[in-house]
Amino acid sequence: MFSRGNTRRRSFREFCPPGEGCAAGNAIACNYTMQDAEPERIAGQAMDSHNSIAGDVVLGKDVRLSKFINLYGCTIGDETKIGAFVEIQKNASVGKRCKISSHTFICEGVTVEDNVFIGHGVMFINDGHPRATNTDGSLQTEADWKVERTMIKTGASIGSGATILSRVTVGENAMVGAGSVVTRDVPAHAVVAGNPAKVLRYLGPQAEQAGVPAAIPFLDLVTPHLELEQELVSAFRQSLHTAGFVGGRPVEEFEKAFATFCNTAHAVAVSSGTDALRFALMACGIEAGDVVVTVPNTFIATTEAISQAGALPEFVDIDDQTCNLSVERLRDYLEKQCKRNAAGKLVSLRSGRPVTAVVPVHLYGQMADMDGIEQLATEYGLKVIEDACQAHGAEYFSARRSCWMKAGSMGHAAAFSFYPGKNLGACGEGGAATTNDAEAAARMRLLRDHGQIKKYYHDVEGYNGRLDAIQASFLHAKLPHLPGWNLKRRERAAEYRQLLLDNGAVTLLREPEWSRGVYHLYVVCVADRDGLMEHLKNEGIGTGIHYPIPLHRQKAYAALNYAEGDFPVTERMARQIVSLPMFPQLTSIQQARVAEQIGAFTASRPGKGEV
């Protein structure tokens, strides 16, 4: 029998000599007493004929063996657990405190060091070019091929269903995603996945301690949700217990809280930021055939909402210091590209349609120059509908009002998106429209819910644009944290400015004195944008482009007949802008590394962004 606690490693034959429970006296089929309630066995206990363990197997102390395993010529370290239907071949070695899950095959030539986790159904390969027969047609034997070795280093984890090809080393504390095919070495502390497996990121603190720089994501959505896990689970549980999934109290409570946050009288929760803008336009009286003026440097949802409200988007260029709508270029458009018709309506010379509204986009989390826009809107009889989808909590000092104003509180109405990556993001899709106009709010509530004033009573034809109760609950749970998250974003933005200010190859966007941005994105300009992004990618630093193709050059708007060069500032920005990592949990150490790598790239590439 096994001797528990004996530190000397012994072969299986020592424990089970011929004639003592071994079939045919060869120690291959060993009879243990198995108990259905406890399929795992500790080495040294009796085992039945379902297991095949050769006499040359070397087991450490306190090894746990499940049923239906096949072990021969291998070494298993102390306190390791072997799952059911596992085969480990000769000249393979498994270290101490490992877990080898069921249906895994570890072939000859594989070395698994200590503290390694191997999931279910993992396959190891030890021959890069296996063949059944030789060139003469004879069946191959061991003498006809050479074992190609594989190494799994200490602390590594390999997900279920992975395949590890030969001549591969999986580094210390690395993680291989389930179903991956590993064809080359995996660096220490790396997380890899795919077929073939590629590095996704590096594990943080352990990687830093080992001198391996941890990857810096463009956006971290995991950490804030883990921090709020209990609150979010509680909100979800409440919906399960009440079966309140559509509308009702959770939506109403969030609407009140968000209206208060935005300093508006009303907030109408809807299914997306696109619906929020579309319903806001319609509720403010924008009709089929109207022209709505906006910028070409924005996400297509801005113009989709305009088109879906029946209007036509026409563009004006952006300010070259903020990337927001230029008041001067808006004035030029209204003065030079529009005229009054006989009825006194403002008409676009380009399309011949009435110009009825302007949509300033508060891009990257900074508000447009609203005083100037509102003054022109008043002069020309335009409605102002804010696209605040990236600006939750942003502020603007209005000289006209002599006070700071929140995004969403200045125009006739405003739209917000709660896409997961926004400063206030749902765990899915969502949006809201804000307004101080009770009639507009009522109209938007009709539009979002099939035009119903009550169930099955339809005053108008509407849409299915409701925010579900679960997302409303999630957003309500997150909302109290938003001011703190925004403050951290502003602090991170200030840190970037200090780090990058002296780099002559990088141009920073301006935050005017009348603006308190919330930095949904932190955007800079460089001459060789694509080269910088590739360099940062190779250094494990995530980036983005917002946006690479201006809307007037998109295929979707070819019928508008804009040409290259119509909006030169937007076009130049589209070639040079790059968004750097930005999220509340970003650390100053991470930012210093981002700035260091930008400096390393730009040092040998002179050329300043042209903002």
128-139 pLDDT, tens digit each: 888 888 888 899
What are the backbone dihedrals phi and psi of residue 593, each rounded to the nearest 5 degrees, phi first?
Answer: -70, -40
Q: Report cis status (omega within 30 of 0) of the bond before 396.
A: no
Closest CA to 386 of 365, 419, 357, 415: 415
* Residue appearing with tokens 């034959």: 13
b/e per residue 54-78 (b: at least 16 CB within 10 A) = bbebbbbbbbbbbbebebbebbbbb
C-alpha dist (Å) from residue 147 to 31, 143, 508: 33, 10, 57
Give 351-370 as a DSSP string: T-PBEEEE--B-GGG----H
Lowest-confidence segment of 188-197, 288-297, 574-583 by average pLDDT: 188-197
Cβ contacts of 494 within 8 Å, gap of 6 or more: none
pLDDT recorded at residue 211: 59
Closest CA to 324 of 235, 407, 448: 407
For CA atoms 597, 599, 604, 606, the dihedral sign is positive
How does residue 141 score in pLDDT terms, banded at 50, 70 and 90? confident
Closest CA to 520 of 336, 189, 298, 211: 298
Find how far residue 592's CA is from the centre of its chain. 22
Q: Report the first-to-last Cα separation within the chain, whole angstroms.
A: 80
Q: How far apart are alpha carbons 586 and 216 in whole angstroms?
A: 9
Task: For 400-429, write each residue's pLDDT tens digit.
Answer: 999 999 999 999 999 999 999 999 999 999
CATH code given to domain 263-469? 3.40.640.10
Q: How far apart are alpha carbons 514 and 404 in whole angstroms?
A: 8
Task: For 226-237, write each residue's pLDDT tens digit.
Answer: 889 989 999 999
Per the document, the length of the chain is: 611
How does residue 44 score in pLDDT terms, banded at 50, 70 and 90? very low
Other Cβ atoms closer than 10 A to 373: 25
Closest CA to 120 of 169, 77, 163: 163
How does residue 337 score in pLDDT terms, banded at 50, 70 and 90? very high
Task: For 253-309, write each residue's pLDDT tens digit.
Answer: 999 999 999 999 999 999 999 999 999 999 999 999 999 999 999 999 999 999 999
Domain boundaries of the chain, sorted by first residue: 263-469, 482-602
The tokens for 14 are: 């020592």
Query: Alpha helices, DSSP H only, in 400-450?
Result: 438-448
* Ramachandran sector of residue 136 (left: φ over 0; alpha: ψ -120 to 50; beta: rest): alpha
DSSP reduced 3-state for 282? helix
Upper half-sphere CA count for residue 122 (Cβ side, 13 Å): 29
How does residue 212 score in pLDDT terms, banded at 50, 70 and 90? low
What percent of the chain clears pLDDT 70, i.e. is strictly above it? Answer: 89
CATH superfamily membership of 482-602? Aspartate Aminotransferase, domain 1 (3.90.1150.10)
Give 229-276 as a DSSP string: HHHHHHHHHHHHHHT--BSSHHHHHHHHHHHHHHT-SEEEEES-HHHH
Q: How far apart are alpha carbons 44 and 61 in whole angstroms?
A: 9
Lowest-confidence segment of 23-27, 147-151, 327-331, 604-608 by average pLDDT: 23-27
The tokens for 16 are: 């089970």
The tokens for 424 are: 């206030």
Q: With a cut of 60, say whether residue 584 has pLDDT above it.
A: yes
* CA 532-211-593 angle, 5° bins: 30
Q: How far apart are alpha carbons 434 and 255 in whole angstroms?
A: 9
Q: How far apart are alpha carbons 132 and 119 in whole angstroms?
A: 29
Closest CA to 112 of 124, 121, 130: 124
Give the DSSP H or E segment for 536: helix 529-538
Q: Are 181 and 197 in contact (CB under 8 A)?
A: yes
Q: How far apart are alpha carbons 6 and 24 in whole angstroms?
A: 28
Lowest-confidence segment of 37-41, 420-424, 514-518, 521-525 by average pLDDT: 37-41
Q: How far apart are alpha carbons 241 and 40 in whole angstroms?
A: 39
| DSSP secondary structure code for residue 523 in this structure | E
Strand partners, 65: 41, 82
pLDDT recorded at residue 140: 85
Upper half-sphere CA count for residue 255 (Cβ side, 13 Å): 23
Task: Find the radius of gyration of the CA atoms of the chain.
Answer: 32
Closest CA to 125 of 97, 145, 154: 145
Give the DSSP H or E segment for 112: strand 110-112
For CA atoms 209, 214, 220, 225, the dihedral sign is negative
Other Cβ atoms closer than 10 A to 164: 27
Q: Report cis status (omega within 30 of 0) of the bond before 196.
A: yes
pTM for this structure? 0.70
Q: How far apart are alpha carbons 266 and 257 in whole angstroms?
A: 10
The tokens for 536 are: 């940062």
Task: For 174-185, write each residue's pLDDT tens digit.
Answer: 999 999 999 999
Task: For 473-518, write each residue's pLDDT tens digit.
Answer: 999 999 999 999 999 999 999 999 999 999 999 999 999 999 999 9
What are the backbone dihedrals phi and psi of residue 38, each rounded to the nearest 5 degrees, phi first?
Answer: -140, 90
| DSSP secondary structure code for residue 221 in this structure | -
Q: How far apart are alpha carbons 285 and 313 in whole angstroms?
A: 16
Strand partners, 70: 52, 87
3-state helix, strand, coil in the chain (%, to 5): 30, 25, 50
pLDDT recorded at residue 33: 29
Find how far residue 387's CA is from the centre of its chain. 23
The tokens for 460 are: 């108008």
Q: How far apart are alpha carbons 299 and 9 in whole angstroms?
A: 66
Strand partners, 87: 70, 105
The residue type at 93: S
